[in-house]
Chains A and B, each alone.
Chain A
Amino acid sequence: MNLAKRACLYLVRKKGKTATLLAFLLVMATLMLTCLSIQSATETANANIKKALMGYFTINAKQLQTGITEDTLNQILSIDGLSGNYTLRSYSYANYSDADGKPLAINTEDAAQVPEGYENAGRIVANTNSDNDSYFTDGGFELVKGTAITSANKNSVLIHEKFAERNGLSVGDTMRLTDVTDENRSISATVAGIFTNTKEQDSIGIAPSYDLYDNIVFTDLSTVSYLLYGTDGETSVQYGDFYVNDPDELDRIMTEVEEIEGVNWDNCTLTRYDNDYQNAKESLAGLQNIVFIAIAVVSVICFLVLALFLTLRLRGRIHETGVYLAMGISKGAVLMQYLLEVLIVAVAALLISYGASSAISDQIGSRLLSQVTAETYETVELTDEAENTEQPSAEDLGLSEIVVDVSAEDYALVWGFGLVLCLASTALAAYPIMKMKPKNILSQMS
């Protein structure tokens, strides 16, 4: 009878013992696989937290002759590690006139002074999305009529309620914006919306006429680009806020930005804003360490328990070993038989464990999902943070979905370690028995 047959027969006839071994190995393998899939899921969760802490950097290209051109912008956006979430901004001053070129009246009453050449001028603000501009997010501005201006709009403006009243303008009307420094640049725009301020301007008495809330006009980036740089068809901007996935990478990304050719970066100011992340950094690392330690503890103890269990199992078979040896079966063959038995069961256990751990991972995954849907996002009052030009809700942060599943690598890892461990511990446990002569073994038995 060859050893393979003996191994199979042993497994089949000792159903109870085989079942116990299978159950044990299955539980172990499933535990390890589940642990590993949970670990990679927590890594995703952690990356999400980092992303949600909204680290970003601002490029101030106000001093550049051409601002940030579309070409430069595309090069910046192609840098790896940006979340894809960004805001472009431009600011200027413009003279306001109606469609026929007749100057429009601004509020001069509350102004500290009305600078020469600015008698009909005001501040022009352009943002990728006017709703996200700090005037609206922090300054208490509110749209009362019409729609916000986004980068999709061309030649549109938002005007203050009082400005509209003073000049008899309403949504759909046309007005002209003319550059205050170069009279040649003039562009007409349609009133897309009317806003008002809910908070009193606290700088009344200090602010010059053009900075008064009433005199501010929001427009699209391309309109300001024309007024500032005289561009046609292209849009250049003064400022860009670029959000990153991992605030730890801000330095690298900012260095890469400054390596983009064709831009005089010495005249630009790059500022990093990652205070929320810096505050949370240490505690976040602590949280990650805990996950790591949990996995380490589980792995080490699992291996220990597995080795002990296999030893215990083999020790119950001393008598059998003695009989085999007495029958003249070589020690090598007996050892091979034992190894083969464990191997067969281990392979079965590992195969089943994939299904089992996938099922468990699915359960965990759906539990996370139901948690998300059950969570109600409260609308939060706006913070007083002037720097924060964006107030995205939790949904549009672009967080990755947390997938709890058994990856091929993890599976291979468990296979490799599992088999080596099974074989090693069986061989090790068999060693003291194999050292003895059959007679000693059999006489030693009670």
Chain B
Amino acid sequence: MNLGIRAILYTVRKWKKTLLIFCLLLSITTLTLSGLAIADAQEEQAEEVRGTTGASFTVERNLSTGGWSNGSDGTYSTQEFISEDMIKEIASVDGIAGYDASFILMPFFYDETGKALPATIYSFFTYGTLNSEYSELFLSGRFELVEGSHITDEMTNGIIISRELAEDNGLKIGDMITGVCYPENNTPEVEMELVGIFDVVADKDDQVNMYDASSYFDYSDYTFCSMGAMDKMVEGWGDDEIEEAYFYVSDAAQLDNVIEEVKKISSINWNNFNITANDEVYQNISSSLSDTGTLITTLIIVITVVSMVLIILILSMSVRSRKREMGILLAVGIAKPSVILQYVLETALIAVVAFPLAYLSSRQVAGTLGTLFGKAAENVVVTSQHFALVAVVGSILLIIAVIVSCIPALRFKPKQILSQME
């Protein structure tokens, strides 16, 4: 009887024992696979958390390398402005989630009947913006969009106003508003469509704000309009252009790398512009976040090591209980290597079924346990790489475990083994 048949027969006839070892192998492999998947999920989740910290960098004109000129309203810098092409080029760098740039004017607005919208103070504090979603006022939570949509760089004539202004003047989404910058100079009238309405969350009465031009306007008189509309309002008048642009990265940990990439853009003369990183929130939480990461990684390492130890323990126990059998096999003249091979083969037979099944079950385990306790587990995904890793390492471990457990018994002669038994 060759060893293959012997192995199969043993596995089939001792089916209860086979089943037990099979279940053990299945459980432990499932544990390891789930562990690996969890480690990856943690990585992803931490990246997501970092993404929510609003880490950004600001590109602004470098006034120190530019020239200065004197005009009617004092000294001004002649440094080049930030062009929209330049912004688009920077925004196309990998890792940038969003961007905004704006310049501010204080135009007057008229509704469809030609009636001027009343402003609390003089006129409206208006941001010509590319992506209002990424405006500091919205990001910081001072304003909150409650109706309609944000202004994007694809819109050419959108405008967002405060709820107060909309309600006081009976304006609703889709209405047209006409903006004029300097009516006394007959600057162009620009038609804009009301695309969004925001709520003021912040307390403007808080005097902490009082140090710049924006402080003198009521929050309800803040408006955001498309960059295109803004450009048209001052066509041929003045040189109001973009002085600062904000770029938000998707992973705060990559901020430095993204900035490095941006600095490599050769079409921009970086001598004329400064880049500043803003990642205060990320800096605050980064150490705690990496603590969590370390803890989970350690947990997974512990799980993996424990799994290995368990497999070795179980196999050595199962092989050691077969000492008598080993003695008989040796006594009937079967060579030691072929005895070992038989045992390895038996284990392999079980593993061949247990491993793929563990792959399937581990894909279920995390999800099932998650939903059982009402926690989401979308990120925990067992990939085929995990499986390949576990299958290869597991197989090697199994073979070593069997061989090592056989050594004590195989050192003896069959007679010694058999006489040693009770």
Q: Judging by beta carbons under 8 Å apart, are B24 and A293 in contact? A: no
| Residue A169, interface by CB 8 Å | no
| Residue A284, interface by CB 8 Å | yes
Residues of B within 8 A of A368 (CB): 291, 294-295
Measured between alpha carbons, how far is A426 from B135 in the docked complex, in Å?
65
CB neighbors of B among A224-259 (8 A): 238-239
| Residue A431, interface by CB 8 Å | no
Q: Judging by beta carbons under 8 Å apart, are A308 and B23 in contact? A: yes
Given contacts A297-B366, A305-B31, A383-B278, 7 further A-B contacts (CB under 8 A): A42-B296, A46-B292, A62-B207, A203-B215, A308-B23, A312-B17, A375-B286
> With A211-B210, A271-B202, A297-B38 in contact, is A41–B295 under 8 Å at CB?
yes
CB neighbors of A among B290-345 (8 A): 290-292, 294-296, 298-300, 302-303, 306, 309-310, 313-314, 316-318, 320-321
| 14 sampled A-B residue pairs with Cβ under 8 A | A20-B313, A42-B291, A58-B203, A89-B208, A238-B207, A276-B54, A279-B53, A280-B52, A293-B373, A296-B373, A297-B369, A378-B283, A387-B140, A402-B291
Q: How far is the CB of B303 from chain A (nearest CB, A)?
A: 6
What residue of chain B has the Cβ atom nearest to residue A279's Cβ? B52
CB neighbors of B among A158-210 (8 A): 201-207
Residues of A within 8 A of B379 (CB): 286, 290
Q: Judging by beta carbons under 8 Å apart, are A315 and B17 in contact? A: yes
| Residue B280, interface by CB 8 Å | yes
Contact of B201 among A91, A271, A290 (CB under 8 A): A271
Interface residues of B (CB under 8 A from A): 16-17, 20-21, 23-24, 27-28, 30-31, 34-35, 38, 41-42, 45-46, 48-49, 51-54, 58, 73-74, 136, 139-142, 201-203, 205-213, 215-216, 276-281, 283-292, 294-296, 298-300, 302-303, 306, 309-310, 313-314, 316-318, 320-321, 365-366, 369-370, 372-373, 375-377, 379-380
Q: Judging by beta carbons under 8 Å apart, are B141 and A278 in contact? A: yes
Contact of A207 among B24, B201, B216 (CB under 8 A): B216
Instruction: Scan A363-397; emit 1 where CB is below 8 A from any B CB, else 0.
Output: 01001100110010110110111111101001001
| Residue A23, interface by CB 8 Å | yes
What residue of chain A has the Cβ atom nearest to residue B312's Cβ? A23
Q: Judging by beta carbons under 8 Å apart, are B38 and A290 in contact? A: yes
Stretch in A1-9, A47-55, A95-103, A338-346 touching the partner = A47-55
Secondary structure call for the A interface? helix
Residues of A within 8 A of B365 (CB): 297, 300-301
What residue of chain B has the Cβ atom nearest to residue A216's Cβ? B211
Q: How far is the CB of B392 from chain A (nearest CB, A)?
A: 21
Q: Judging by beta carbons under 8 Å apart, are B318 and A380 in contact? A: no
Stretch in A31-39, A327-335, A407-415 touching the partner = A31-39
